[in-house]
Chain A
Amino acid sequence: MEALLPVLIKTLFIIIVAVAAFAPVITWVERKQSAVMQDRIGANRADIAGITVLGLLHPLADVIKLLTKEDVVPTGANRALHLMAPLIAAIPVIASFGVIPYGGTYHFGDTTVNLVVADLDWGILYIFAIASIATYGTVIAGWASNNNWSLLGSLRASAQMISYEVTMGLSLVGIFMCFQTLRLTDMGVAQDSTFRIFGFLEHLGLVDSIGFLGHLTLPTWGIILQPLAFVLFLTCVMAENKRPPFDLPEGESEIIAGYFLEYSGMRFGLFYMSEFIEVVVIGALVTAIFLGGWTIPWLSQADIIGGVTPIFGVGVATGLCMILHVLTFFLKVIIMIWLQMQIRWTLPRPRYDQVMDLCWKVMLPLSLLNILVTGAVILWIQGAKA
């Protein structure tokens, strides 16, 4: 049994950073991004004594507005399930931060610091399991509202989420094969190195030595080893999050607001927040799996600690490395959030059958093909080695 205190500190840290710091700012980024894309100024009205801070007070105004609104339960609705649904939607999203590593493992003398709340051997499976629970929040919300538009929205949501879960799992199988693990911390360590771009020529015996080309290296990041998997996985998790262009379950032009149509006040706020927290989860997950996690490209942990130790000693060097890694991780998460925002405001919403066709007729075959090719290449390389 691990000591409870470090786990609590790590949990608090990730919750505060992701839920209390990232999510409100993202609502502001979303508004500003839409303003930029639509040639407007954007959120800039909320102020305290005339000070607007670039519109950053809008999240605060949002929260005050939602908290003071009336919490309506429609007539004929199933009261208990209606009240519970936003919680069922929000809790799994927050719980998925439990296995996402935001830093590596660091040794300070005898104590070892491991920057992940729960370093599970089956980390990715935990994420998949948790993500599949989140479906219930939307399904129950739609049904318990006693509104046909809501029910349509939740039916759309459940079909869409189940379909994309299949491809989401399969798109990562290539990654499992490359890194030989399901543990997210091990994936981070595996991505903390580089490979020679033309090394395969030497490896397969095509040339004796590749000479100066050996200096051309790339980090062993998931996105470089499995570019197709990156595209597939990002599409699937965005469809899981039901944000545009995959916001068919909300589809305001067709079914008003879909599954959360009958929600008001802070219960609507919970749906709204869990969507934005999931944007952070997606950013963190894609970073951990495809963008090298906390690692700095071309500068491994051993290099940093080895380089700084002669000047400041091992303790300071390790601490510095830890801070650099955590900052790198969150920088990558910010880049991924920006990418999601860009996609969200660029693409229009497709028709519902097009979304399902995309999943079953394009993404699923492509992810199976990816597994086949990855397996063949790995066997080929192993054969060449032997």
Chain B
Amino acid sequence: MSAPAVFFYLFGAAAVISALAMVLNVRNTVASAMSLVVTMIALAVVYVVLDAHLVAALQIMVYAGAIVVVFLFVVMLLNLRRDAFSRPRERLTKLAGVVFALGGAFAFLQLVPKSLPTVQAIPADFGSYAAVGRALYHDFVLPFEVSSLLLLAAIVGAVVLAKRRIS
């Protein structure tokens, strides 16, 4: 096995294990959120192995570096303990989780291998910030600007909701 393949399987396994640790650990919500961070970082390493460097950097900057920090922020302020989750509902959620996980895995194994495109040689600048930038700001500039308007509306909405009195 080549070095990238070793890293791929190593960090792929790390991503799966830490994702499971996040879901199964109901005792400690902060540790659970930290498992999510580990998942994000492991995924970023997988992206690096797959030559998607910009996506890897964004994965860590945006997801691990900003979004999950806000999760942690909320979880820490709520200071949840084990008894915050009622027992019977927990068992029901576990059952539902198992059913959906098995169903998802089955569908994945049925559908994905058939729909995978054949392997093609990737262009030299694949995954670089230059290629992504050209696609975003040149080839697809209109959809990009429209989505930025959408984000702006979301930001304004968040400010209006969060601020009781706008002076």
**Contact surface of A with B, Cβ cutoff 8 Å:** 1, 78, 80-81, 120-122, 125-126, 128-133, 135-136, 139-140, 143-144, 151, 154-155, 158-159, 162, 165, 169, 182
Which A residues are in CB contact (< 8 Å) with B76?
139, 143, 151, 154-155
The contact of A139 among B56, B66, B69, B128, by CB within 8 Å, is B69
Give CA–CA (A143, B71) in the complex, Å. Answer: 13
Residues of A within 8 A of B70 (CB): 162
Please judge, given known A-B contacts A143-B30, A143-B76, A155-B76, whether A125 and B54 are in contact too, CB under 8 Å: yes
By beta carbon, the residue of chain A nearest B75 is A143
Q: Residues of B contacting A165 with CB < 8 Å?
A: 61, 65-66
8 Å CB contact of B61 from A78, A80, A121, A128: A128
Q: Which residues of A contact B53 (CB under 8 A)?
A: 120-122, 125
Q: Is B64 located at the chain interface by the 8 A CB criterion?
A: yes
A132 touches B65 (CB 8 A): yes
Query: B7-37, CB under 8 A of A: which get 1 and which 0?
Result: 0000000000000000000001011001001
B interface list, Cβ under 8 A from A: 3, 28, 30-31, 34, 37, 41, 44, 53-54, 56-58, 60-61, 64-66, 69-70, 72-73, 76-77, 128-129
Instruction: Report whether A128 and B57 are in contact in the complex, using a CB–CB cutoff of 8 Å.
Output: yes
Contacts of B64 in A (CB 8 A): 129, 132-133
Residues on the B chain within 8 Å of A151, using CB: 76
Q: Quick one: which of B30, B53, B57, B77 has the most chain A CB within 10 A? A: B57
**Given A125-B57, A125-B61, A155-B76, is A133 in contact with B30 using a C-beta cutoff of 8 Å?**
no
Task: Name B73's closest neighbour in chain A (CB-CB).
Answer: A158
Q: Are the CB atoms of A155 and B73 closer together than 8 Å?
A: yes
Question: Can you spell out 17 A-B residue pairs with CB atoms less than 8 angstroms apart?
Answer: A78-B30, A80-B31, A125-B57, A125-B129, A126-B57, A128-B57, A129-B65, A131-B65, A132-B66, A133-B60, A135-B69, A139-B69, A143-B76, A155-B77, A158-B72, A165-B65, A169-B61
Chain A interface helix/strand/loop/mixed: helix
The interface residues of chain B lying within 8 Å CB-to-CB of A128 are 57, 61, 65
Q: Which residue of A lies closest to B57 (CB)?
A: A125
> Which residues of A lie under 8 Å from residue B3 when comparing CB positions?
1
**Distance of A369 Cα from B77 Cα, bound (Å):** 36
B60 with A81: CB separation less than 8 A: no
Contact assessment for A81 and B54 in the assembled complex, using a CB-CB cutoff below 8 Å: no
